[in-house]
Structure 1
């Protein structure tokens, strides 16, 4: 067995890598939100000034028996990197994961990345997945839990009307603005700043992570990548009486729909803006894409206000996403 970095320009190598990754990440899970091969091609072949992306394959002869990924921020968090080790069930307990981890760890040290993050997907009600023991052996510590939830579509228009009326009781002079695709120029600077708050204003548990640096350049680059992946991004923002952006929500739609950011600025909380923007965005989504059957989302259990909003909308938990970290001494 040997570990090799995947050539992003090699269609065959990237397809074999994705197939093994899909088999490993999807094992034992309910409708796992795994990126498509087309998305992977765009991610690895599109210039990105915000993240370094590298893919690794464990090869037994010419067969990919395991995959690794490394993602390192380039604009902020200079000592941080996310790593992922995936082994399909039929190739486990042969040292494949350990060999991939060694290669990723060496590369992180080469890049001077000393705070490493990893994610483990734990179906609710199931026995602990093998990733728990593996992460602990590799020196990772469990730092935070997020709950993956799913909403069945369509939502009855009457239910959306009820929730909209509930939000309107507190919304006062705030107004809502929605769009599909790129952010309008008039809001771009404000919106970039608002997106940058998510990494620190949303609950992080015990994770060690520095604020992200967002500007219009990063926002536009992010939008171009989404468009290249064939995604339509539905956005709704709340605008304060003074004209500043007070909160926002986004849903990214390719073959499936996934809730992305939702955040209300700390200075504007208490007006049911989170509920207001999510109801408005979901209404537009269901009217525009009646073919969609589900929306997925992730939230920390201690994010009480957002959990309450999701419960009211009808989201139901299906999986825990466990966030682990290793910090080099």
Structure 2
């Protein structure tokens, strides 16, 4: 069966190759995650062709003997100091073409690339009890972190409840917000706050750490803009000018109705003041006012991140599925 599948590395991804990639991912997502919004073709093209932040991307396309695309693998090679040991895998096989060797061939190419790049850790995400999880565990991946995916229907929180939280007094703090790149006068303070994400629960993942500065913050916003997405941020600023906490929400390109939660963090010195709930509530109010076409937000939290799970559930988020971060300790040559 393996002879009927060929794996081709992609160099400069063409429009036809991006379309083939989208075809496979759309079929895989519809089968394994029913109810999840379908991937946007333009967004996938941008992800495959636009530079990434702190990483570079390798990609492979598996085709059958008739030239039909049957599987894809994308490998994100992290390049930032503190993460040079790490690679992240995205692998999809069209359900109509599974159990014919495409996934195994793609993973073999990925592992070979990791070894050539001296990557000791390969991580991947898979829905709990899904075909992707079973495939990964049969090939040596182990569960390193359990995630709860949650959805908030924006119409559900009562206006009075949102206003009660949003208008609560937080002496010494004020809220501010922006779209896209952080304003220059907050860039350094915001970058310092981003470093609070380095103490987020990561289970047994060999994830490393990321050092944020103003240039990296601006570069992240540019990467998101270049692929056609919109980044919204709400921040709590202390009277001394410190960004004490923030939340980020991504609006995917196209006409999607589901927003994606990005980071939410509170700087350790400012915890205990319910700033996380404050900024997230302000974001819900902003989405309702400025983006009425968005009807829900998806987020995920590590199972052992009890505090953020409690914040999200107080706001009205409800669990709808679990996922696992899986890790393969890459064998040395």
TM-score of the superposed pair, with normalisation by structure 1: 0.92
- Provide, for residues 291-314 of structure 1, a one-character-per-residue CA deviation record: whole Å limited to 9, x for no partner: 211111111122122111111111
Within 1, Cα distance between the matches of 2:216 and 2:30? 31
In the TM superposition, what whole-angstrom CA distance separates every residue of 1:220-258 from its partner, at most 9, and x where no partner exists? 221112222332221111112321111110111122311
Aligned counterpart for 1:51 among listed residues 49, 55, 74: 55
How far the C-alpha of 1:60 sits from its partner, in A, is 0.5
Deviation at 1:132? 2.5
How far the C-alpha of 1:87 sits from its partner, in A, is 1.1
Aligned partners of 1:306 and 1:297: how far apart in 2? 11
Q: Cα distance, 1:196 vs. partner?
A: 3.4
For residues 5-38 of structure 1, the C-alpha deviation after alignment (integer angstroms, 9 at most, x for no partner) is 1244410111111210221133132433664221
Quote the residue 2:111 is aligned against.
105
CA contact (8 A) 1:48 1:221 kept: no
- Written as runs of structure 1 = structure 2, the 5 A alignment for 1:55-70 is 55-61=59-65, 62-70=67-75
SS at match of 1:250: strand
State the alpha-carbon separation in 2 of the partners of residues 186 and 31 from structure 1.
Answer: 41
Hey, what's the Cα distance between the residues in 1 that align with 2:51 and 2:124? 24
Which residue is equivalent to 2:276? 274
2:316 & 2:12 partners in 1: Cα distance?
40
Find out whether 1:71 has 2:76 as its counterpart: yes
SS state of the match for residue 27, structure 1? helix
- Contact 1:42–1:225 (CA<8 Å) still a contact in 2? no
What residue is the counterpart of 2:231 in the other structure? 233
Name the counterpart of 1:182: 181
Query: The residue matched to 1:75 in structure 2 has which SS?
Result: coil
Instruction: Report runs of 4+ in structure 1 exceeding 4 Å deviation.
Output: none
1:221 equivalent in alignment to 2:226: no
Q: Which moved more, 1:28-37 or 1:201-210?
A: 28-37
Instruction: Give the 5 Å matches for 1:1-329.
Output: 1-32=5-36, 35-48=39-52, 50-61=54-65, 62-76=67-81, 77-122=83-128, 128-154=129-155, 155-165=157-167, 167-168=168-169, 171-198=170-197, 200-254=198-252, 255=256, 256-328=258-330
RMSD: 1.7
Segments of 5+ residues of structure 1 without an aligned counterpart are 123-127
What CA deviation, in whole Å up to 9, does each residue of 1:29-72 have, x standing for no partner? 24336642212222232234511112211111311111111001
For residues 34 and 195 of structure 1, the distance between their equivalents in structure 2, rounded to whole angstroms, comes to 30
Superposed CA offset, 1:124-168 (max 9, x none): xxxx22223321222111010111111112243222013235x53
Q: TM-score, normalised by structure 2?
A: 0.91
Q: Distance in 2 between matches of 1:175 and 1:249?
A: 14
